[in-house]
Structure 1
Amino acid sequence: MNLRAIPDSMDPTTVGSIDTELDRVSREHRVRIRLAIESGSRAWGFPSPDSDYDCRFVYVASLDTYLSPWRTRDVIETPLTGLLDVNGWDLAKALRLLVGGNAVLIEWLMSPIVYRGDSAFRDELRALADEVADRDQVARHYLHLGARQWRLFGGSGSLKKVFYSLRPAMALRWLREHPEAVVAPMPLPILLEECELPADLVAAVRELTELKSRTREMGSGGAPAPIAAFIAAEFERARDAFPKTSGRDLARAKAATAAFFRQQTIVTATG
């Protein structure tokens, strides 16, 4: 385990509690945690003073677990404790969802905040994601997620919730401007920097981010006009730019992910 990237802004006591919880999960569930990262607003680059700590991890179970005819759960969930939310997926589940177009594992692989992990594992899994993930399906994941949140916002509501639509919309914009890429950066500030955007939009996003960073309650109201127009326009463009795919041949993707899974179970069994 040679990965560790914790910003100074994170509370060291809380980080210590997460480390303790990850140690407990490994010991009690007899699994090897290959990567544990921060998800949610802290990793996306727009935390509030009272934001939760959303630790997510990918684990590999013992070889006995995979060779048994009796299925076990492929998710480990721990009780919510204060601001701590610590949950993880079995590698097999993560790979199935990756091939199916779910962007969650991709998000985890791109998180700038890492509690622990193996750099070779992350690098190889990132390369695998680039190889097997379907660009249009990943984009449709962002579209579905962001458009749903935008409908729930309904034009006016808690300003915090604007970010739940803004970040997927920005990821869609980044993917449109980088047509050879499958995986978009995770932090909102990087998405802003790497896209060609109107100055008034960038200013509005930075102002809203700054407000969220220093207040627990942002209040309610409509999204700033440049942001609202951007979100609506990006979701509309994405419906044509990233069409629904059907009948995709998954043989190669399944073979590549199966080979990676077998390699990692052997590493765990012999490590």
Structure 2
Amino acid sequence: MTGSAKPVAGSLPADFDPVVVGEIRTRLDHVRDEGLKVLFAIESGSRAWGFPSPDSDYDCRFVYLCPPGDHFVLEQRRDVIEFPIEGDVDTGGWDLRKALRLALKGNAAILEWTVSPIVYEEIPGFRASLLDLLGEILDPAKVAHHYLGLLRTQAGRHDMESGEAPIKKAFYAIRPLVALEWMAERDFRTLPPMNMPDCLAGTAIAGDVRDAIWHLVEQKSRTRELGTGRLPAPLARFIREGMHAMAGRLPRVSRVSGGLDERRIRADLFYSDLLKREAGLAPADAV
């Protein structure tokens, strides 16, 4: 799956700025210059979530692997790489170990990165293998609580109903709530799509709310600055009532360690097998 495998470039949307893409590729080369292996690099944020605007930032996220030798020294590298934000280019990545640890806690970010439709580069086959693993170790109940936390954070930052607030910020509350609605309609047993329009299409959200969301998505796609203002009443009500309703509907996260132990063992095996292949101690195509 990895071993000596080299990254291949992904197919990017035609409207992506080639200068920006070149800058992102240069940054990924800098990561490799540090002796790290970039497993995949994707676009996150509004472009991948399905509600971009003409001036949306480029949010490149990547996952990397430290060389096997790093595991035999006391001093460990940082498990996060963050490049300075310059203009509309935001690039950052996680060590695979960090990504797996967070997945075990229910953080949905690594799942979203793994299924992103916009790929800068990837080691062939790695994302598919990682997605299989995430299907085994991600607890949908924990993921639901992760999305509720995002919803509360974003809704709490702005008075989107009675006061002036940046309209585009509403999407950061709408997106996790739509994901929660999608999960609730499936008894919180299934992980939601990354793309918000796909998520929305798979729910029974009321027509007036759905229309208001689609109107904002369409408006955002052709407007560089939505400005500030009050949200349409159906949307403001959807966020307010949905946030409180979901708090009571979410399944409790089991505190029994057995299930988590099994997930952690599976993640450990995945990671250790990957390191063995990197060290040449296992066939490169081993699962």
TM norm structure 2: 0.89
Partners of 2:141 and 2:189 within 8 A in 1: no
State which of 218, 224, 239 in structure 1 corresponds to 2:247: 239
**3-state DSSP class of the match of 1:49?**
coil
Query: Counterpart of 1:23?
Result: 29
State which of 155, 163, 168 in structure 1 corresponds to 2:176: 168
Query: Counterpart of 1:186?
Result: 194
Query: Counterpart of 1:259?
Result: 269
Structure 1 residue 58, shift from structure 2 partner: 0.6
Structure 1 residue 159, shift from structure 2 partner: 0.4
Partners of 1:5 and 1:115 within 8 A in 2: yes
Query: Counterpart of 1:34?
Result: 39
Q: Runs of 5+ in structure 1 lacking a partner?
A: none
Structure 1 residue 246, shift from structure 2 partner: 4.8
Aligned length: 270
Equivalent AA in structure 2 for residue 13 of structure 1? V
- CA separation of 1:88/1:132 partners in 2, compared to 1, >3 Å: closer, same or farther? same
Q: Deviations over 1:241-265 (max 9, x none)?
A: 2134252312101100000101112
Structure 1 residue 237, shift from structure 2 partner: 2.5
Query: Counterpart of 2:4?
Result: none
Structure 1 residue 57, shift from structure 2 partner: 0.6
TM norm structure 1: 0.93
Q: Which moves more between the two structures, 83-92 or 105-114?
A: 105-114
C-alpha distance in structure 2 between counterparts of 1:137 and 1:181, whole Å: 11
**3-state DSSP class of the match of 1:128?**
helix
Percent identical residues: 41
Q: Which moves more between the two structures, 136-145 or 242-251?
A: 242-251
Query: Counterpart of 2:84?
Result: 79
Query: Counterpart of 1:96?
Result: 101
C-alpha distance in structure 2 between counterparts of 1:181 and 1:167, whole Å: 19
Query: Counterpart of 1:198?
Result: 206
Q: Deviations over 1:35-70 (max 9, x none)?
A: 111111111111122211111111001111122122
State which of 151, 166, 171 in structure 2 corresponds to 1:158: 166
Equivalent AA in structure 1 for residue 267 of structure 2? T
Q: Deviations over 1:196-223 (max 9, x none)?
A: 2222222211111121122222121111
State which of 9, 15, 20 in structure 2 corresponds to 1:14: 20
Query: Counterpart of 1:46?
Result: 51
Structure 1 residue 12, shift from structure 2 partner: 2.1
Query: Counterpart of 2:61?
Result: 56
State which of 150, 153, 158 in structure 2 corresponds to 1:148: 153
**3-state DSSP class of the match of 2:238?**
helix
Equivalent AA in structure 2 for residue 42 of structure 1? R
Query: Counterpart of 1:117?
Result: 122
Query: Counterpart of 1:126?
Result: 131
Equivalent AA in structure 2 for residue 231 of structure 1? I
Partners of 1:2 and 1:119 within 8 A in 2: yes
C-alpha distance in structure 2 between counterparts of 1:48 and 1:268, whole Å: 40
Q: Deviations over 1:112-157 (max 9, x none)?
A: 1111113421112111111111111111111011112112111231
C-alpha distance in structure 2 between counterparts of 1:12 and 1:136, whole Å: 40
C-alpha distance in structure 1 between counterparts of 2:123 and 2:242, whole Å: 36
Q: Runs of 5+ in structure 2 lacking a partner?
A: 1-6
Q: Which moves more between the two structures, 193-202 or 90-99?
A: 193-202
Structure 1 residue 182, shift from structure 2 partner: 3.5
Q: Which has the higher helix share?
A: 1
Structure 1 residue 84, shift from structure 2 partner: 1.0
**3-state DSSP class of the match of 2:127?**
helix
